[in-house]
Amino acid sequence: MPEQQGETDELFDVKTQFYIGNYQSAINEAQKLKLNNTFQKLERDVFVYRSYIALKKYGVVINEIHGVSPQELQPLKQLAEYLSQPSKRESIVLKLDQQVSGNIDVNNHVFLLVAATIYYNENNYETALKVLHQSDNLECRALMLQAQLKMDRVDLAKKELKSMQEIDDDAILTQLASAWVNLTVGGEKLQEAYYTFQELADKNTPTALLLNGQAACCIGQSKYEEAESALQDALEKDSNNTDTLVNLVVLSQLSGKTPEVCNRYLSQLIDTAPEHPFAVEFQAKEKYFDLLAKQYVLTAA
């Protein structure tokens, strides 16, 4: 989708709310807009459908995007189907492999983001990077940086951050990327990351995404009371946010909470997102522990 140069970005508030994780507000802001520009209308629709996906309201996207919908919207239906239908994921990835092996329209950054997001969820970070490196779109760059951090390539992430800063140092995505890098580096950089999350919350509104960022910084600095305060605020905003629940499980352990408190958050995570990597790994280790315990009992007998 081509970007319009030299025009006021009427979607600024929509994008801001989306990037900080305030998805319902992004939808609400988008519905208020009266746009005449065809490209802006399309871009608005992209952010609306992406917000519904973030809210796990996949049916809205699947039902509303059909064969005659604009080409730029089609990948979003593919993403909604991937996230909502685990049994179809293998076939969706195979189809995506075919798509990315051909000629990709590098101007269609929606497709690039969707393809990379699916590969990211498949833990196939190298392919995600191959898809994204073809675009100078700032959001593609931000997702590249996240993939590099997942691969423990902080050196590459720092270079990517520098590129983003050269494109637009003041953009929210660039500020968030800076916080993600500083959070990963740790040490003295944790306080810088904390201030970035706090500044974005002060300028806009505290969201679960920003509060979790602050909490992670506090956990890294052993400021457990501050971390708990931020996470409880995040829990009030979204009681099913998986990042909040994972951080609360970790914090409960670090701060010496009773096992009941930790298990409560863990049970909620498993109920809410049984396929979350943290939940899957925990349950696998739990089964392995039970198996070892039974073997020990048999051996001892």
DSSP string, 102-144: S---TT-HHHHHHHHHHHHHTT-HHHHHHHHTT---HHHHHHH
What the block records as the tokens of 149 is 């951090």
Closest CA to 252 of 273, 235, 272: 235
Per-residue pLDDT tens digits for 199-240: 999 999 999 999 999 999 999 999 999 999 999 999 999 999
Residue type (1 letter), 122: E
- Provide the whole-model pTM: 0.90
Q: Over its length of 301 residues, how does the chain's per-residue pLDDT go in tens digits? A: 444 444 678 999 999 999 999 999 999 999 999 998 999 999 999 999 999 999 999 999 999 999 899 999 999 999 999 999 999 999 999 999 999 998 888 889 999 999 999 999 999 999 999 999 989 999 999 999 999 999 999 999 999 999 999 999 999 999 999 999 999 999 999 999 999 999 999 999 999 999 999 999 999 999 999 999 999 999 999 999 999 999 999 999 999 999 899 999 999 999 988 888 887 787 787 777 777 777 777 676 5
CATH of region 205-300: 1.25.40.10
Instruction: Give the H/E segment covering residue 77.
Output: helix 74-84
Euclidean distance between CA atoms 13 and 6, whole angstroms: 18
**pLDDT at residue number 9:** 86
